[in-house]
């Protein structure tokens, strides 16, 4: 049984991770999250009263609060999901990405290190700091090749540059201060509770709302897609079995162009919930001006995690998408409430400039 401190657990992946941990383990969790526009704690209604779960609202940039929560909770591990995570938003307003993803991570590392040094020798052997990162730190690939753990960093957007910086800080804290860190870099996630500004939920919601389905450029950019529960399982395994100081790439073995992703969603929706007007949802597809600095292709070589940790993705793209579409159809209250909130609505979709 572990005591975990999860940062950013009110977000999409952290939230799925916590719900899974509480279902599948006896681990106890403190979820430390500031609740930005992307944070949502309604997903934890089903676990209300669970003695193994506690929520604390706070900012990873607030040193005093971070220090206090770590020393009060006495975690065996910190799993750091908290971040500003949307590339488009980072283009519009990079400074919050620098603050949260770089400064926030450095404060968390400093406070975790103080705590680590004060632990008994036995507890120190168990302690881990697991940093959740992205494949976007590596920049873009051409038509051939895949990223692996030794690929040089070459980030393109303010988001990926801020995540790259945080990865470097985490490694530096291991080499300089001996903090027992682990880093995972994962590809594009999709699944339940993803904020409806990201491609897959946005497409599902716009399709059934009879709105255009915007695609950047010609839709030729390629991403590797992973169902969120596969990512969460990989993180749990790395936490238990990962070698200190190591990085593990996590991917879904599923490269698709954006156009293929949107067309697949349309075809599945045509079967699951046919458009009342009798047309295919594909007819709603519309191409919009490309995003600046849009990386062409990401692809993941996941042999290291497969060989060392015995993890590989379980969900095919079709299975994962079917689950996701059903979830968004059955949970319209969740996303409708988000859509009604007063925040920067223009980012609830890809806008034509
Ligand atoms: P998300 O935007 O859904 O959630 C981020 C959470 O962090 C939110 O709950 C937010 O309130 C919280 N947060 C933001 N600033 C904070 C602060 N200053 N203090 C405390 N909490 C704060 O993000 P996500 O999609 O769940 O991504 C989680 C992590 O996984 C991120 O680090 C992201 O870079 C990484 N990642 C995401 C993907 C993906 O496809 N979504 C892929 C690879 C890696």
The Å distance, Cα 85 to ligand 1 centre, comes to 5
- Ligand 1 atom with the smallest distance to the CA of 190 is 40
Pairing of the two strands 222-227 and 255-257:
antiparallel
CB atoms within 10 A of CB 271: 9
Torsion angles phi and psi, residue 271, rounded to 5: -80, -45
Cα(276) to centroid(ligand 1), Å: 36
Q: Give every CB contact of residue 3 below 8 A, 6+ residues apart in sequence.
A: 27, 28, 29, 30, 73, 74, 75, 76, 77
Answer yes or no: are the C-beta atoms of 245 and 181 closer than 8 Å.
yes
* pLDDT band at residue 246 using 50, 70 and 90 as cut-offs: very high
Supply the residue whose CA is at minimum distance from atom 33 of ligand 1.
85
What does the pLDDT read at residue 349? Answer: 47
Neighbour count for residue 75 (Cβ, 10 Å):
24
pTM reported for the whole predicted model: 0.96
Query: Quick one: angle between helices 105-118 and 63-73, nearest 10?
Result: 40
pLDDT tens per residue across span 20-47: 999 999 999 999 999 999 999 999 999 9
pLDDT in tens, 293-346: 899 999 999 999 999 999 999 999 999 999 999 999 999 999 998 888 755 544
């Amino acid at each position: 049984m572990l005591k975990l401190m999860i940062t950013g657990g009110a977000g999409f992946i952290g939230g799925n991770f916590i719900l899974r941990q509480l279902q599948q383990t006896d681990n106890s969790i403190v979820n430390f999250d500031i609740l930005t526009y992307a944070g949502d704690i309604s997903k934890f209604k089903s676990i209300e009263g669970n003695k193994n779960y506690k929520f604390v609202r706070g900012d990873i940039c607030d040193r005093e609060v971070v220090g206090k929560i770590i020393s009060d909770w006495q975690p065996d591990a910190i799993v750091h999901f908290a971040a500003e995570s949307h590339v488009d938003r980072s283009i519009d307003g990079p400074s919050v990405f620098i603050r949260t993803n770089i400064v926030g991570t450095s404060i968390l590392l400093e406070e975790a290190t103080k705590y680590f040094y004060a632990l008994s020798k036995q507890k120190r052997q168990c302690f881990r700091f697991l940093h959740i990162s992205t494949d976007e730190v590596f920049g873009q690939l051409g038509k051939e090749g895949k990223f692996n753990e030794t690929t040089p960093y070459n980030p393109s957007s303010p988001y990926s540059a801020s995540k790259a910086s945080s990865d470097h800080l985490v490694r530096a804290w291991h080499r300089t201060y001996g903090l027992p860190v682990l880093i995972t870099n994962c590809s594009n996630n999709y699944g339940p509770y993803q904020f409806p500004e990201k491609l897959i939920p946005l497409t599902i919601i716009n399709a059934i709302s009879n709105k255009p389905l915007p695609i950047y450029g010609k839709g030729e950019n390629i991403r590797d897609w992973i169902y969120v529960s596969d990512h969460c399982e990989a993180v749990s395994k790395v936490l238990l079995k990962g070698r200190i100081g190591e990085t593990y790439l996590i991917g879904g073995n599923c490269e698709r162009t954006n156009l293929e992703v949107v067309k697949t969603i349309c075809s599945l929706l045509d079967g699951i919930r046919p458009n009342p007007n009798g047309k295919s949802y594909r007819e709603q597809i519309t191409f919009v001006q490309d995003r600046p600095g849009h990386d062409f292709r990401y692809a993941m070589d996941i042999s290291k995690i497969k060989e060392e940790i015995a993890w590989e993705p379980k969900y095919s793209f079709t299975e994962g998408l079917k689950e996701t579409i059903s979830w968004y159809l059955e949970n319209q209250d969740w996303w409708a409430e988000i859509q009604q909130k007063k925040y920067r609505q223009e980012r609830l979709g890809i806008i034509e400039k």
